[in-house]
Amino acid sequence: MIPVDGESSKKRVCYFFDSDVSGFHYGPGHPMKPTRIRMCHSLVMNYGLYKRMEIFRAKPATKREMTQFHSDEYVDFLSRITPLNMNSYMKEQHKYNVGDDCPVFDGLFEYCSISAGGSMEGAARLSRDKCDIAVNWAGGLHHAKKSEASGFCYVNDIVLGILELLRYHQRVLYIDIDVHHGDGVEEAFYTTDRVMTVSFHKYGEFFPGTGELRDVGIAKGKYYALNFPLRDGITDESYKSVFEPVIQQVMESYDPGAIVLQCGTDSVSGDKLGCFNLSMRGHANCVKFVKSFNKPLLLLGGGGYTMRNVSRCWAYETGLAAGVELGSEIPMNEYYEYFGPDYELDVKSSNMEDMNTPGYLDRVKNIVLEHLRQVGGPPSVQMTDIPRVPIDELMDDPDADEDLIPTNERRPQRLLDSRRQADGELSDSDDEGEGGRRNHASHKDRDSMPLAGRKFGAAVGIMSTGSTHGVGPSVATVAPPVATHPSAAPSNPESSNQSDMDIDDGTSVAPSARADSKEGSRTSPAANGMDVDQPAAPPPATTDAS
């Protein structure tokens, strides 16, 4: 993990994950695979990002909370239908668009509850200034309507999260970088100026078929819905050339109190359903740019159907939220084989042709900016008392159950996960080398080191690799006596150079040492646990028996 340059201040990050989410399955052959969220979480944990943020398992959303946006009949239908009784609900399935793209599967309502619960609690924590950035990769299901499932989405967690933010903030900005148009969110706030929706998406014979340039909202919400239709194959440079100027102008004209960013990764190159050509870093640049405005930020998932790329992208963007850039080499994790053959984090662009000409992008950008100029400045909102909803009881005292735990029992895992490692805190050796703490001393200088400061036995750098094979001969050779005369100096001119193996450098054993390891491993004192660097103990004193 490399700290990101130019970070003005460290952000408090709340990261939401529920391990149950990977147990749901849309059905054989369906492109939406909830397992991708667990794959991302596995990378997040094995990269060590858990030290830099609080991790929460959100309380699943209830039926009552879902009906803040969805109709009572639709939520009741989702809670009742199962694969066993679905034949009894044929009329309702047709009415609510459940069946083809949005199949009925085991645990459907629980899956929706987990997705919505993370987004709502993330928004609640942002509103109460308990964090600066909230992350819920299980959310971002932007196609669901008030009484209709659509595009693999059943419950619109984004709308529910925005409604929570609107209780505390006058204006909320919604940005969508999914390859598909964010139609469900736009439709929900099409007539209000309290939410501005900005969507960059593929348009033209592509699902859902909405998001035309002229769709700008109606009534009080006119010009508060912005759409930027794109063509196949857009590259990082082209995307950046339109995304940053538009969002910069949106921030100046609208001045939102909070931002919701839907990070659908089906806009990344190589997606099974997408047709854009963004690299992982090009996609993540949007997150970095939006974060730079220092507003309360809710990061949500969304589309993404090539699982190895989805998990790579979201893990990298989780790191950016926490203020670090992840290294290119993927650490060992439970899904390691998915990332072959190169086992690298980067998702690169392909040689796909970019159908977005500079003239087309400039023309569309100018029209969108003209729509923005019609706004004329941030709208004023007459605020009233904050209404009470069920999530308030949870947020007022999130540790209410802690008092019921017997004092002689372990703290629950939820409390342990919510702990963030403070900067400068002593930690295990898995972060050895961070912050310039690595010891670069050579093993040749050990005899001149004071006894109290010497490291005996195998070097820490090698121990951190998890293998002690070949350690014996390379570190256990008895040091020759110190030369006191020029003629006693070693005759080999290369022997005075830096050793191939530094004590704490973490590098591999020198080739010569590795070759000799098998031969010397049986007779090496270090292999038998002896400390060859310690001075020999004096012989025991003898007494005269007479």
In Å, what is the CA distance from 271 to each residue of 267, 348, 361? 7, 12, 23
pLDDT of 538 strictly over 90: no
Which runs of E-coded beta strand occur in 282-399?
Answer: 297-300, 324-325
**What are 417's two structure tokens?**
């996960």
Active site residue 143: yes
pLDDT at residue number 430? 52
Task: Over range 423-431, report the average pLDDT.
Answer: 56
**441-496 residue pLDDT tens:** 555 555 544 444 433 332 222 122 233 333 333 333 344 444 444 444 444 444 44
Using CB atoms within 10 A of its CB, is residue 502 exposed (0-12), middle (13-18) or buried (19+)? Answer: middle
497 versus 68: the higher-pLDDT residue is 68
Q: Are 310 and 278 in contact (CB under 8 A)?
A: no
Q: Which amino acid is at 539?
A: P
- The answer to whether 238 touches 352, Cβ cutoff 8 Å, is no
Annotated domain spans of the chain: 2-375
Residue 380: the pLDDT is 73
- Look at residue 229 and tell me whether its pLDDT is greater than 70: yes
* Cα separation, 351 vs 345, whole angstroms: 19
Mean pLDDT of all residues in 174-193: 96
Please state the CATH superfamily assignment of the domain spanning residues 2-375 in this structure. Histone deacetylase domain (3.40.800.20)
Give residue 103's pLDDT: 95
d(CA 256, CA 494): 65
Place of tokens 């609107």: 166
Pairwise pLDDT comparison (521 vs 16), residue with the higher score: 16
| Rounded Cα–Cα distance for residues 143 and 161 (Å) | 15
Q: Which amino acid is at 246?
A: V
Please tell me the least confidently modeled range out of 73-82, 96-105, 243-252, 404-413: 404-413
Does the pLDDT value for residue 416 go beyond 80?
no
Mean per-residue pLDDT, 6-23 = 86
Catalytic residue among 70, 143, 180, 283: 143
**Band of the pLDDT at 31, cuts 50, 70, 90?**
very high
Highest mean pLDDT (candidates 203-207, 389-393, 441-445): 203-207
Q: Which two tokens stand for residue 79?
A: 């809670």
**199: enclosing H helix or E strand:** strand 195-202
Mean pLDDT of 518-530: 41
Mean per-residue pLDDT of the chain: 81
Mean pLDDT to the nearest integer, 504-509: 42
- Across the beta sheet with 258-262, the strand order is 54-56, 13-16, 133-136, 297-300, 258-262, 172-176, 195-202, 225-230
Mean pLDDT of 248-265: 96
Q: How far apart are the first and last CA of the chain?
A: 71
d(CA 65, CA 72): 10
Q: Given phi > 0 = left and psi -120 to 50 = alpha, else beta, which region is 191?
A: alpha
Cα angle, residue 157 at apex, residues 339 and 77 outer, rounded to 5°? 110
pLDDT at 36 over 60: yes
Mean pLDDT over residues 77-94, rounded?
95
Residues of the chain with pLDDT > 90, as a percent, come to 65
Q: Between these two residues, 535 and 283, which has the higher pLDDT value?
A: 283
Q: What is the mean pLDDT of residues 77-86?
A: 96
The pLDDT, as a whole number, for residue 105 is 96
pLDDT of residue 442: 55
> What distances in angstroms separate CA 93 from CA 34, 152, 155, one per listed residue?
22, 14, 15
The closest of 324, 413, 422, 447 to 56, measured between CA atoms, is 413
Q: What is the mean pLDDT of residues 101-114?
A: 96
Query: DSSP code of 184?
Result: H
Q: Burial-class residue 272 by CB neighbours within 10 Å (0-12, 13-18, 19+).
A: exposed
Is the pLDDT at 546 greater than 80, yes or no? no
In the block, tokens 């790191």 appear at 319
231-252 residue pLDDT tens: 999 999 999 999 999 999 999 9
